[in-house]
Structure 1
Amino acid sequence: MTVTATFARDFPTERDSGCPFDPPAEYTELRAQEGTASLACPVGVEARVVSRYADVRAMLGDPNLSSHAAPSTHVVAGGLLDRPVAPGSLLNMDGPGHARLRRLLTPEFTVKRIQAMRPYIQGLVDDHLDALLARTGPVDLVRDFALPIPSLVICELLGVDYADRDRFQEQTAVLIGTNSDPAALEQANLEVVGFMTQLVLTKLAAPGDDLLGRLIVRARESGQELSVEELVTLGITLLIAGHETTANMIGLSTLALLRQPDQLAALRADPGLAGTAVDEMLRYLSIVQFGVLRQATGDVTIGDETIKAGEWLVAALSAGNRDESVFPDPDRIDLKREATAHLAFGYGIHQCLGQQLARVELQEVFARLHQRIPTLRLAVPFEDIEFKNDALVYGVRALPVTWDGENR
């Protein structure tokens, strides 16, 4: 059956200021209606917005949907939907080219390899908590805790000098903003590419025992040697994705839990809840806030609806994660909820390669932060917190916190 889009209006990008943790209210309406709505996106095209959980999974698992304009070009005003896909651009590639890169990278993100990093990550979390507790507060939990931990982890993985992180984080913020100044965007891109090119050339000359070094060796030994451009693009993708998403999750989830004292009390009482808590917060917050963009390369079926070749679709991840048919009472945090089937990491062949690493980092934070600082609280009124409404990855810009004297 073919269903005509029921109405056309602007793609929702604004959250309810009364509850900044919830996705736009329009998603609830979209899930309830028949078919998919065709909405006008800031980039200047109309796209079908897929908002029901089952439909989002079906969409992201369909090989006839191209990710060439991924991940969220639809909300970047003036974005280039038809820009050529750069060699090594894992997020934008389809078919055999994507499969080749994914195969080469997968050994670096196995459960066994990531679990082997857990002691290192535990040490980082405790070291940063020690540094916080040595101060009298208030402190910015984003700057002093949420950002440096995932930055150190991904730098360790890639073999990047951690001393370079501050400038890199500044440029990353520009690159993932939806309203960045074009000149600033170009300059940020030049700096990041230049930085990564130098790193790649160093690794090619003498591959070390780090992700980039092992990747270079693995590709050579398999007869699939990677070009400098491929390695640069892969390195930038991993460096940005590896710290930006996890850092924002640490800050935003801490704030959300501080607003839910019953759930926070349960986590403090039982650090073993960290496993389910992480997936529940990933579901609840869905920080890839505008979803992911795809284009049909052939006719596809989503639910009872036929989508024609050439049409654009947006998988609204946050809408699917609030689908009440899958997650009862979805607008409530329940840290005991088994939410591992959430869509925060996407689905299908482009599902986040580093999801196990993100889980381990978040588990160690959840299991340690609130146990060691049980009186953690906001140092400013909640209304003063500034949210990243104009970024592809949602979070808070700063999180001033303080605590009482009894800590561990």
Structure 2
Amino acid sequence: MAESHPEAITFPSGRPGPFDPPASLGALREECPVTPMVYPDGRTGWLVTGYAAVRSVLADPRFSARRELLSVPVPSPLAQEMRRPAEPGMFIRMDPPDHTRYRRLLTAQFTVRRMRQLEPRVREITAECLAAMEKAGPPQDLVREFALPIPSLVICELLGVPYADREEFQRATAVLVNLEATADDLHAAIARVGVFFTELIARKRAEPADDLLGGLVESGELTDEELANIGFLLLAAGHETTANMLGLGTFALLQNPEQLAALRADPALADNAVEELLRYLSIIHIGPVRAALADVELEGRLIRAGDVVTVSVPAANRDPARFTDPERLDVTRDATGHVTFGHGVHQCLGQQLARVEMRIALPMLFDRFPGLRLAVPAAEVPMRDTMSIYGVRALPISW
């Protein structure tokens, strides 16, 4: 355990607005980009807020992602249980060589080329959602009718998960990312997901399928437990993150009409706009968390072996040392280099899929409904403040 620091903080909270991280993050980044922090379990570790320092931690093999070494920076009913080694297949909570083995099996499935091959299908799915919205008429909840179904259907087709079962896994995932869920709720959700994927893997063994999970089954390199955990990890990440980017991204563009107008005037800005929304909104707002495997000096601070380090993606993505005028949404900005997808060996496996979905879905939404607007005052849009992945709970819209 690290020595106690009298100036240690707790994890910053309290957003000044729906799109801005806690103001104290910016102050910490300017004054002390590596700050002592007290974790809810009583350990004293560190909060890293500067862009360069965040990238350094995420790229340095001396910082471990192994779950049993970490502490959760915010209160969680499962904090103690999470101090156990990750289950087989849960590779995001492992270090090389275990992480490398799983990652190697999956990397070939998520190439830029393969994601681009999915573009026609993403357009079809988006068009179907928009047609259904138009037929039903306003007002609508954009999350339920657009932001959630598009990535859910895409990842289901890619993995080979029946979309008819979406409510089951969407409910379970919502519980698992809810920071206020009870331990009983979390255990029940984990159990439901386990049964769901165990049965699915058994069906794929009996009837080989031409999809990602079917291919992993056929490879013969993974046990049923590994396959089930990998399946859930990819399914949850594949719909939760992109769904929240589509919902929160639409909200941000509606609240920044000059940026929306620039995007509409020049469709070639779609790639830029996607990267800028990813940077500006930083929906991964708690972590990643790492543990030092050796003594490491960072920005003049000595991080001792065993210390837990939380890096702040929102603070890094708004570091003026890296991005000019970072507090402003600017769809013409070159925002590449943001750390929303992480950095280093654990960089998000599905980032190209998320980019494809956002680049296609957002322009199609605004093309179909040029008069799109909020159906409630902006202050009444319910936010996901108590979720580990930030976004809007619902986005009531009209046109």
| Same fold (TM > 0.5) | yes
Tell me how far 1:179 sits from its aligned partner. Answer: 1.2
Q: Give secondary structure in 2 for the equivalent of 1:391.
A: coil
* Structure 2 match to 1:290: 286
* Structure 1 match to 2:376: 380
TM, length-normalised to structure 2: 0.95
Tell me how far 1:9 sits from its aligned partner. Answer: 2.1
Indicate if the aligned counterparts of 2:5 and 2:44 stay in contact, CA closer than 8 A: no
Q: Give secondary structure in 1 for the equivalent of 2:270.
A: helix
Q: Give secondary structure in 2 for the equivalent of 1:126.
A: helix
* Structure 2 match to 1:77: 76
Where does 1:313-352 land on structure 2 (aligned, <5 Å)? 313-352=309-348
Please give the alpha-carbon distance, in whole angstroms, between the structure 2 residues aligned to 1:314 and 1:396. Answer: 24
User: In the superposition, relative to structure 1, how do residues 72 and 381 fare at CA in structure 2: closer, same or farther (>3 Å)?
Assistant: farther
* Structure 2 match to 1:277: 273
Please give the alpha-carbon distance, in whole angstroms, between the structure 1 residues aligned to 2:112 and 2:171. Answer: 31
After TM superposition, the structure 1 stretch with the greater mean CA deviation from structure 2, 198-207 or 389-398, is: 198-207
Q: Deviations over 1:272-324 (max 9, x none)?
A: 21101000000000001112111111112323332110000001011000000
Count residues with an aligned counterpart. Answer: 394
Tell me how far 1:72 sits from its aligned partner. Answer: 8.2
* Structure 1 match to 2:295: 299
Please give the alpha-carbon distance, in whole angstroms, between the structure 2 residues aligned to 1:52 and 1:154. Answer: 33
After TM superposition, the structure 1 stretch with the greater mean CA deviation from structure 2, 196-205 or 96-105, is: 196-205
Tell me how far 1:74 sits from its aligned partner. Answer: 2.4
Indicate if the aligned counterparts of 2:143 and 2:394 stay in contact, CA closer than 8 A: yes
The aligned amino acid for 2:167 is D
The aligned amino acid for 1:302 is L
Q: Deviations over 1:57-87 (max 9, x none)?
A: 0000010111123998322424134212111
- The answer to whether the aligner puts 1:27 opposite 2:42 as a matched pair is no
After TM superposition, the structure 1 stretch with the greater mean CA deviation from structure 2, 70-79 or 143-152, is: 70-79
Tell me how far 1:43 sits from its aligned partner. Answer: 4.4
- The answer to whether the aligner puts 1:7 opposite 2:31 as a matched pair is no
Tell me how far 1:6 sits from its aligned partner. Answer: 7.5
Indicate if the aligned counterparts of 2:67 and 2:85 stay in contact, CA closer than 8 A: no
Indicate if the aligned counterparts of 1:36 and 1:48 stay in contact, CA closer than 8 A: yes
The aligned amino acid for 1:205 is A
* Structure 2 match to 1:37: 35
* Structure 2 match to 1:103: 104
Indicate if the aligned counterparts of 1:69 and 1:293 stay in contact, CA closer than 8 A: no
Tell me how far 1:391 sits from its aligned partner. Answer: 0.4
Indicate if the aligned counterparts of 2:178 and 2:386 stay in contact, CA closer than 8 A: yes
Please give the alpha-carbon distance, in whole angstroms, between the structure 1 residues aligned to 2:350 and 2:209. Answer: 21
Tell me how far 1:232 sits from its aligned partner. Answer: 0.9
User: In the superposition, relative to structure 1, how do residues 252 and 35 fare at CA in structure 2: closer, same or farther (>3 Å)?
Assistant: closer
Please give the alpha-carbon distance, in whole angstroms, between the structure 2 residues aligned to 1:325 and 1:352. Answer: 24
Q: Give secondary structure in 1 for the equivalent of 2:97.
A: helix
Please give the alpha-carbon distance, in whole angstroms, between the structure 2 residues aligned to 1:111 and 1:76. Answer: 37
The aligned amino acid for 1:42 is P
The aligned amino acid for 2:73 is H
Indicate if the aligned counterparts of 1:271 and 1:371 stay in contact, CA closer than 8 A: no
User: In the superposition, relative to structure 1, how do residues 301 and 319 fare at CA in structure 2: closer, same or farther (>3 Å)?
Assistant: same
Q: Give secondary structure in 2 for the equivalent of 1:343.
A: coil
Where does 1:143-182 land on structure 2 (aligned, <5 Å)? 143-182=144-183
Indicate if the aligned counterparts of 1:159 and 1:212 stay in contact, CA closer than 8 A: yes
Please give the alpha-carbon distance, in whole angstroms, between the structure 1 residues aligned to 2:328 and 2:97. Answer: 41
Identity %: 48
TM, length-normalised to structure 1: 0.93
Q: Give secondary structure in 2 for the equivalent of 1:345.
A: coil
Tell me how far 1:166 sits from its aligned partner. Answer: 1.1
User: In the superposition, relative to structure 1, how do residues 166 and 72 fare at CA in structure 2: closer, same or farther (>3 Å)?
Assistant: farther
Where does 1:210-249 land on structure 2 (aligned, <5 Å)? 210-218=211-219, 220=220, 225-249=221-245
Q: Give secondary structure in 2 for the equivalent of 1:49.
A: strand
Please give the alpha-carbon distance, in whole angstroms, between the structure 2 residues aligned to 1:43 and 1:139. Answer: 42
Where does 1:48-59 land on structure 2 (aligned, <5 Å)? 48-59=46-57
After TM superposition, the structure 1 stretch with the greater mean CA deviation from structure 2, 109-118 or 128-137, is: 128-137
After TM superposition, the structure 1 stretch with the greater mean CA deviation from structure 2, 353-362 or 305-314, is: 305-314
Unaligned segments of structure 1, at least 5 residues = 404-408
Q: Deviations over 1:238-258 (max 9, x none)?
A: 010000000000000100110
Indicate if the aligned counterparts of 1:267 and 1:274 stay in contact, CA closer than 8 A: yes
Tell me how far 1:201 sits from its aligned partner. Answer: 1.6
Q: Give secondary structure in 2 for the equivalent of 1:301.
A: strand
Please give the alpha-carbon distance, in whole angstroms, between the structure 2 residues aligned to 1:337 and 1:72. Answer: 36
* Structure 2 match to 1:142: 143
Unaligned segments of structure 2, at least 5 residues = none
Tell me how far 1:382 sits from its aligned partner. Answer: 1.0
Please give the alpha-carbon distance, in whole angstroms, between the structure 1 residues aligned to 2:317 and 2:118. Answer: 29
